[in-house]
Copies of this chain bind each other. A is one copy, B any other.
């Protein structure tokens, strides 16, 4: 059962961090190897190349996102409850490992089509929630596309605030307030807190 690949994790972690810090295109194999304390060739033992590494990192971590979000979807509750839950899930995901979260945000626009489909589902999920909420009369008649962007914007920008140290970790602390703001923006009757 051979030695475990001691450096694989280190390479992947270094890559992920650098991709967030300097951008994917701004990070070279050398940068990654250097931070991981290995040489350039080592990376190719574990990954086919830079592209495949990015893809592997994305798919790996995106799993957890997809699972947690899918779980949220399952529980058929009110719009308010679902949105609140979703915000919590997002912030929890962020707090578990902020660099991973940021990498997913940064990389999602580059990773290939089949993955994009998944990513699209995220926007789509919120869109459907909004659409249903309007149909059910939970929130007033309005442009569902716009509301979708507004809510996503609030959640994502909160993570940006953390990155630039304008907000403090853990994000989960702010989940309730952000959820409330989303519902207020949607014109929902706020649940008593």
Contact = CB atoms under 8 A, between A and B. Distances in A.
Interface of A: 2, 23-26, 39, 41, 123, 142-143, 145-150, 152-158, 160-161, 166-167, 174, 177-178, 181-182, 184-185, 187
- What is the interface of chain A mostly: helix, strand, loop, or mixed? helix
A174 B23 contact: no
Contacts of A41: 2
Closest 8 CB pairs of A and B: A153-B157, A25-B25, A181-B185, A153-B153, A149-B161, A184-B184, A153-B154, A150-B154
A161 B185 contact: no
Contacts of A185: 154, 181-182, 184-185
A146 B123 contact: no
A181 B157 CA distance: 15
Nearest to A165: B145
5 contacts: A143-B177, A150-B154, A153-B160, A156-B157, A157-B157
